[in-house]
Amino acid sequence: MLYHTFSTQEEIDQEYNPRFIVENTDELIQSYFTESQRVLREYSNRSAVAYGPTPSETLDIFPAEKLCSSIHIFFHGGYWHSLTSRDFAFVAEGLVRNGITAVLVNYALCPSVNIDEIVRQSRAAAAWTYRNAEDFGGNPERISVSGHSAGGHLTGMLMSTDWEKNYGLPPNLIKGFLPVSGLFDLKPFPFSWLQPKLLLTSEQVLRNSPVFLKPVYTPHVMVAVGADESDEFQRQSKNYTIFLQKHGVPAEYLSMPGKNHFNIIHDFLGDGGPLCKKIIEWK
């Protein structure tokens, strides 16, 4: 077996490439671009704010109307090798409408960097947000994080971060985590269609798989996945939820009826659906 119950790359690709499951993938991704352009026009924002030394280390800030608002950090998907934070600007709409400042993180992509570097950048973005929150009207003591797909993986990696030891910041820096359609065990990917871009080694897999890393205690965690996603996406989310619970983290699991890998994140449009409302509960 290459991984779990799979003996061929074709079997792995069938489960982990959502294009095989969702017939209107291109239409749904185009909706990201269309809605994001609308949100960028209609909502006040500061784009491409640098949080690190490299060109890709930027974030887009959509401030809430009131000062000292809760902050929500979002990491975009794209299987670590495509898309940008601006392609997911639409995520800010439901947050800002509910009084939450949205911080959308951009990061470098494989194969120009490896996943180790993407994780480093993601942690650096969260640390920058905490240190600079008051400069853009946010409250550094009320930060939560979510991410979609590869961004869900990055959300999980932030859950395993020792903020005090590595950044000199409070250990409970982040008050809530919401990975959406995330990937928490990277073991299948060296055997997948993605490997020429990801170039994962076995060591990188282990140190970048949240399901193998001790999480920090956080009172608010929800692991969400679409009920119409592949068996493997659903299994990864279920297993990660159980893993967190075994480590004393009171994680909830949410399977969203009628949602696939691409339309699940539309939940953040307008006034927001169940995912957005969960973040509002945490604020």
The count of domains in the chain is 1
The domain that contains 204 carries what CATH number?
Answer: 3.40.50.1820
pTM beyond 0.95, yes or no = yes
Please indicate, yes or no, if residue 1 is contained in any of the structural domains: no
Please indicate, yes or no, if residue 153 is contained in any of the structural domains: yes
Tens digit of each residue's pLDDT (9 = 90 or more) over 98-143: 999 999 999 999 999 999 999 999 999 999 999 999 999 999 999 9
SS (H, E, C) 175-232: CEEEEECCCCCCCCHHHCCCHHHHCCCHHHHHHCCHHHCCCCCCCEEEEEEECCCCHH
Please indicate, yes or no, if residue 3 is contained in any of the structural domains: no
Residue 265, pLDDT score: 98
Residue 72, pLDDT score: 99
Residue 283, pLDDT score: 85
Give the 3-state secondary structure of residue 13.
helix
Among 268, 220, 263, 266, which Cα is nearest to 97's? 268
Please indicate, yes or no, if residue 66 is contained in any of the structural domains: yes
Domain that holds residue 117: 9-282
Q: Phi and psi for 158 in degrees, rounded to 5?
A: -65, -25
Residue ranges for the chain with pLDDT beneath 70 = none
CB 171 within 8 A of CB 163: yes
Tokens for 207? 């140190």
Residue 255, pLDDT score: 99
